[in-house]
Amino acid sequence: MMKLMAKRAITPGPRDERGVLAARILAAARDEFAQHGWAGSTIRAVARAADVDPALVYHYFGSKEGLLDAATNPPQKWLESVAKVWTTPVDQLGAALITLLLASWADDEIGPTLRAILQTAAHEPATREKLRRVVEGSLMGVSGLGTDERERLVRSGLISSQMMGFALMRYVWKIEPMASMSDDEAIAAVSPNLQHYVDGDLTTGS
């Protein structure tokens, strides 16, 4: 990140300006979606919050749908973190997954993007489809999960259900004491349940 910033400072230009403005517009869009929902958000309000002309938002993103699509695209560094967590030994995956979740939401680019996905997925078919791809795409590379394709999907779906529910309670709905419990307490409480979905017996109900 430092390296990237330095490079930009040395060679400013139209392309860099576009990147900076686009990032500012996307951050404003995520804020706007978070506050007013997708249907209640307007290009005009996003442009005002980003301090740019609405025409520039259309020029960069084409439409409100294009803006939502870009604003909910998982950042590359998050995809890399997800890929890395899957190199964890299977018997430690539960703890690694909840640790990744906590770190991701604390990040000032990844957190707002995940929030925008969760908040719009409830009623926007396009974002729901993206959520589905994120869930499946980020979990299906995992060779250690299950013995066949369906079991792998069941296990990754169950893992996601716990991680999504935890993230909603803690970060989106901010329900206490989930919202303010320490990372250590969260890791100790949730790890064993994620581990059960990773490699536990899912057929006995006990």
- Residue numbers at the binding site for a copy of itself (CB under 8 A): 33-41, 95, 118-119, 121-124, 128, 131-132, 135-136, 150, 153-154, 157-158, 160-166, 168-170, 172-178, 181, 185, 187-193, 196-197, 200, 202-206
Length of the chain: 206
Q: How far apart are CA 24 and CA 1, in angstroms?
A: 17
Tokens of 190: 């949730």
Q: How far is the CB of 144 from a copy of itself (least distance, A)?
A: 18
Q: How far is the CB of 166 from a copy of itself (least distance, A)?
A: 4
Q: How far apart are CA 81 and CA 113, in angstroms?
A: 15
Closest of 167, 113, 157, 105 to residue 135, by C-alpha: 157
Q: What is the DSSP letter of 170?
A: I
Q: Which is nearer to a copy of itself, 70 or 169 (CB)?
A: 169
Query: In angstroms, what is the minimal distance from the CB of 49 to a copy of itself?
Result: 16
**Which of 61, 197 has the CB closer to a copy of itself?**
197
Least Å distance between CB 3 and a copy of itself? 36
CB of 20 to a copy of itself, least distance (A): 28
- Give the nearer residue to a copy of itself in terms of CB position, either 25 or 178: 178
* Least distance CB 98 / a copy of itself (angstroms): 9
Neighbours of 198 (CB within 10 A): 23
To the nearest 10°, the Cα dihedral for 134, 160, 177, 116? Answer: 20
**3-class DSSP string for 70-134:** HHCCCCHHHHHHHHHHCCCCHHHHHHHHHHHHHHHHHCCCHHHHHHHHHHHHCCCHHHHHHHHHH
* Residue closer to a copy of itself, measured from CB, 55 or 189: 189
Residue nearer to a copy of itself on the CB measure, 3 or 192: 192
Q: Is the Cβ of residue 56 or residue 186 nearer to a copy of itself in the bound state?
A: 186
